[in-house]
Each structure stands twice: as structure tokens, then as C-alpha cells.
Structure 1
């Protein structure tokens, strides 16, 4: 059975706590903050640093623009975070021989080791977060994420 849609007219009040984008943002921020406590305490990493390490651990050899696109972070945040990770020698950068403005980022050996340490912990945290879901609910959540992604395209 389809959910009853909210009344959509010019006089409709925005009830923030029922507004899906707001609820998703707040929930995401709360989850990220909890997880960040672990990353910071155990690995001295911020959430943005971990996101970049996670993306490069999964996809490898990306430009900063590609990292920004995959993480949905702005380019300035990515640039600053990459600089910190390069300074800590968790990333390596190769410059294009023909155009030194173009560079490719990847995990260094120490970044790869760190990723291998954190990834299982991240998966365990996700499992704890979803522990109240049965299989059907988890599948439904995944389907809802897919529908939200598809709906996002209609906002363009």
C-alpha cells in the first residue's frame, strides 16, 4: 500500500521534523558523529579523512575531482583533507607528465594498511547499527535508498 502523500500546495507548512531531506541529513550527521569518535580516538582520523581513504581503498587511482564526486564533498574540503593525508603519508600522488596540474591520488602502503584495519571495524559498526533490522527490512532499506537515488535525478 502506498504511503499517503503530504498535501502539496503553496499554503502547506514545512514541518521540519517530517521533511525527508532534513531527517536524512540529521540522521547521517548523528551516525557520522558517533563513528567519528572511534576513528578519531583509535586512528586520529576525521570523518572526511576516512571517507577519502575508504573511497581510494575501494576505487584506487582517482583525481581529487573524482574523489569529490564519489564522496559528495566540495572540492575545497577534499583538497584540504588530501593535503593532510599526504602530509601524514597515508596517500600518494602522481602528477601527469604532460600536465602537472593533473594528479592521481591513491593510498600509500601505510594508507592501505590503515584501510585494512578500519574497514572491518566500519563493517562491524554498520552491523550494530542495522542489528534491529530483519532481512526483509534490510532489503527494503536498500530498495528505498535506490528509490531515493532515482528520485534525486528528478530534482535536476
Structure 2
């Protein structure tokens, strides 16, 4: 069968399936924290990255959460305005402006983490322990390979 004659079965197309699954999971998790904490998906991802890896520059946050600079900048600006993120000046490199959670941001982060981990546990209930281990291994391989493909390898 030639490439032109092949049909794209969207419902079986891996990139589509991963995208739809990601969106469904992201929206479901967002439903848990959006109302009580008034955070967007991007704002929560910024907070999660800073909660785990701070201090980070906005550019480093974008790399960690795989989001474009504009979305990250908007999220950071909103979080700074609400007093949840602060920006410092690096004494060794004044052009570098590392970000970190403020005490208020750490408090909100600490309240959302159990919700996120609870949702993850609920999601994982669909899989056995062995299937979870296999899924995590396969995801690691797909992430690594997708990065290679993205970089032209």
C-alpha cells in the first residue's frame, strides 16, 4: 500500500491519542484547583516547577514545563501580581532573574500537591502495579525518542 493510499485512523493515531488523553487529564486535574485557587493550567505548572526546582528563570521554567515564553511570562506576571511568585536578581549575572515561590505561593502549592497526587492515584487505579511500571518505562522511552525526533535525529 502506498503512502497516499493509507488512511489515517485518527482514533488510533498515537499523537492524536496522546494529545486527547493529555487534554482530558489536564482539564480534570484543573477542575480540582481552578475554583478554590483561581489558577490557570499554566500558572499551576509554573508553580509546580518552582515548587520542585526553584530558583529558575522564566526561560528555564518554560523548558521544564514545555511551554512557550509568552504563556509562561503571562502566568508568571499573574502569579507575581497575586504575591505567589517573586523575582530576584542574580548577584553574579544581573541579566538573570531567578523566580521562586513566596510564602503565600508555597502555602498554595502545599494545598494543591495532595489534590494532584490524589488525582494521579485515582487515574493509576485503572492499571495494575506492573502496568504502571510498564507505562512509566514506555513514557520515558517515548519522551526521549520524541526529543531526538524534535532535534532532527
Q: Secondary structure at the match of 1:95?
A: coil
The aligned residue for residue 96 of structure 1 is 90
From 121, 124, 127, the equivalent of 1:127 is 121
The aligned residue for residue 39 of structure 1 is 33
The aligned residue for residue 15 of structure 2 is 21
- 1:44 deviation in Å? 1.1
Is contact 1:39–1:47 with CA below 8 Å preserved after alignment? Answer: no
Tell me the TM-score normalised to structure 2 length: 0.91
- The range that moved more, 69-78 or 143-152, is 143-152
Question: Larger relative contact order (C-alpha < 8 A, sep ≥ 6)?
Answer: 2
Q: Secondary structure at the match of 1:89?
A: coil
- Give the paired residue count: 150
1:109 aligns with 2:116: no
The aligned residue for residue 150 of structure 1 is 144
Q: Secondary structure at the match of 1:92?
A: strand
Deviations 1:17-50 (A, max 9, x none): 1111111011111111111111111211111111
Tell me the TM-score normalised to structure 1 length: 0.89
- 1:101 deviation in Å? 4.0
When residues 95 and 17 of structure 1 are mapped into structure 2, their CA distance, relative to the original with a 3 A threshold, is: same
Q: List alignment gaps of at least 5 residues for structure 2.
A: none
Q: Secondary structure at the match of 1:103?
A: coil
Q: Secondary structure at the match of 2:114?
A: helix
The aligned residue for residue 78 of structure 2 is 84
1:12 aligns with 2:43: no
- 1:97 deviation in Å? 4.5
Cα RMSD between the aligned structures?
1.7
